[in-house]
């Protein structure tokens, strides 16, 4: 299967969040920018206050200290303004939080199981497909560095898996995350997802991928010696192509 994709991998000296690929991550990014603006204003204001305090408390500038020790009015102002700022911030924060929790009618279910130290997947419960009872199961191990073709560029050390999870774009997906042995955490930064995989517990999240791409992630819960060696690779395909892919795969199995 040949398709061109953008690559959403971590970049060298990256300091900012990765490009969003899901509605959730877009929301997180917008909220992050919103917060950064407010933080900048607050830091500038506090810096200005500090500068003036230092300036006026130097004996060189002020030979006689003031008798001013307490002000009830001032205290009310500097307590209520930060409280008001927090109150204003809570609105977009809670909106985002509840929007992320919303579960729409999913087209398919991706079951994710964390193991020491690899991920296993199962794609099932297709909504608009005759093969509803069937499912596609596979296990994804990290590709060892020695196995990576050195002549070929574009492979990422500690990030590539032997099989990639293929998912459709512009469709509501349900992810069910659990673990077989110890705690793991299924994380893909481009989707804004970090779901704990707990043994004996099923965590549900929804995912709506907005564009095609190759997305990378890693386990984000210390789970043993090979914690750093259980990466996640997701490839998103246009819906029609995905349908094609899943039909052929199911027929083969
Ligand atoms: Cu699995 Cu850390």
Between the CA atoms of 100, 119, 141 and 18, what dihedral angle is there, to the nearest 10 degrees? 10
Ligand 1 contact via 177 beta carbon (within 6 Å): no
CATH number of this structure's domain 108-252, picked from the four choices 3.30.70.3270, 3.40.50.2000, 3.30.1280.10, 2.60.40.420: 2.60.40.420
Centre of ligand 1 from the C-alpha of residue 185, in Å: 6
- Could you tell me the residue ranges of all domains in the chain? 23-101, 108-252
Q: Could you tell me if the CB of 221 is within 6 A of ligand 1?
A: yes
Minimum-distance ligand 1 atom for the alpha carbon of 184: 1
- Decide whether any atom of ligand 1 lies within 6 Å of the 167 Cβ: no
Residue 75's contacts (CB-CB under 8 Å, 6 or more residues apart) are none
Other Cβ atoms less than 10 A from the Cβ of 166: the count is: 19
For ligand 1, whether the C-beta of 181 sits within 6 Å is: no
Q: How far apart are CA 207 and CA 110, in angstroms?
A: 10
Q: What is the helix (H) or strand (E) element at residue 122, kind and residue range?
A: strand 118-124
Tens-digit pLDDT profile for residues 86-140: 999 999 999 999 988 887 888 888 999 999 889 999 988 776 666 667 788 889 9
In CATH, what class is 23-101? mainly alpha
Of the listed ranges 45-59, 117-131, 147-161, the one predicted with least confidence: 147-161
- pTM: predicted TM-score of the whole model, two decimal places: 0.81
């Amino acid at each position: 299967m040949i398709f061109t994709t953008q690559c959403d991998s971590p970049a060298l000296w990256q300091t900012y969040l990765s490009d969003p690929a899901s509605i959730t991550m877009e929301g997180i990014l917008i909220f992050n920018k919103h917060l950064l603006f407010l933080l900048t204003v607050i830091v500038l204001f506090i810096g200005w206050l500090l500068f003036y305090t230092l300036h006026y408390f130097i004996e060189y500038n002020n030979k006689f200290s003031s008798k001013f020790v307490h002000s009830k009015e001032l205290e009310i102002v500097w307590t209520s303004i930060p409280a008001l700022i927090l109150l204003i911030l809570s609105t977009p924060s809670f909106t985002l939080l509840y929007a992320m929790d919303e579960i729409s009618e999913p087209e398919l279910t991706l079951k994710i199981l964390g193991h020491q130290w690899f991920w296993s997947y199962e794609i099932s419960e297709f909504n608009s497909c005759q093969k509803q009872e069937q499912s596609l199961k596979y296990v994804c191990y990290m590709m060892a560095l020695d196995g990576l073709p050195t002549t070929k560029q574009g492979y990422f050390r500690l990030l590539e898996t032997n099989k990639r999870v293929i998912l459709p774009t512009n469709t509501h997906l349900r992810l069910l995350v659990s673990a077989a042995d110890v705690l793991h955490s299924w994380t893909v930064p481009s989707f804004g997802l970090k779901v704990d995989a707990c043994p004996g517990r099923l965590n549900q999240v929804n995912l709506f991928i907005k564009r095609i791409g190759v997305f990378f992630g890693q386990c984000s819960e210390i789970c043993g010696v090979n914690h750093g060696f259980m990466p996640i690779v997701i490839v998103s395909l246009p819906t029609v192509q995905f349908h094609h892919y899943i039909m052929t795969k199911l027929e083969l199995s």
